[in-house]
Amino acid sequence: MMQVKARELREMSDRDLDRKLRDLKEELFNLRFQASTGQLDNPMRIRLVRRDIARVLTVVRERQIEAEHEEAGER
């Protein structure tokens, strides 16, 4: 699985971002489980998934800030 690009994330809908975040968190859980049982083939995958989660959360936060600014501008 490839890393997610921030540009691709910004093109996704809010629903798709939520789904992507849920999938990544589930994958991270599974990777950590595999690591604890000694079955993990690629330990770097944990790091990559954590970074993808951070990217998704960054885009979500950007949208929240943008919405707050739009809301403040309407008042």
Query: Is residue 5 assigned to a domain?
Result: no
Query: Is residue 6 assigned to a domain?
Result: no
> Would the pLDDT of 39 be above 80?
yes
How much is the average pLDDT of 46-54?
97
Query: Is residue 4 assigned to a domain?
Result: no
For the chain, the domain total comes to 1
Give the residue, 4 or 47, on which the prediction is more confident: 47
φ, ψ for residue 41 (rounded to 5)? Answer: -80, -40
Query: Is residue 66 assigned to a domain?
Result: yes
pTM: 0.89
Residues in the chain: 75
Query: Is residue 62 assigned to a domain?
Result: yes
pLDDT score for 48: 96
What CATH number does residue 70 fall under? 1.10.287.310
- The domain in which residue 37 lies consists of 12-74
Q: CA dihedral in degrees (55, 61, 64, 66; nearest 10)?
A: -80
Query: Is residue 39 assigned to a domain?
Result: yes
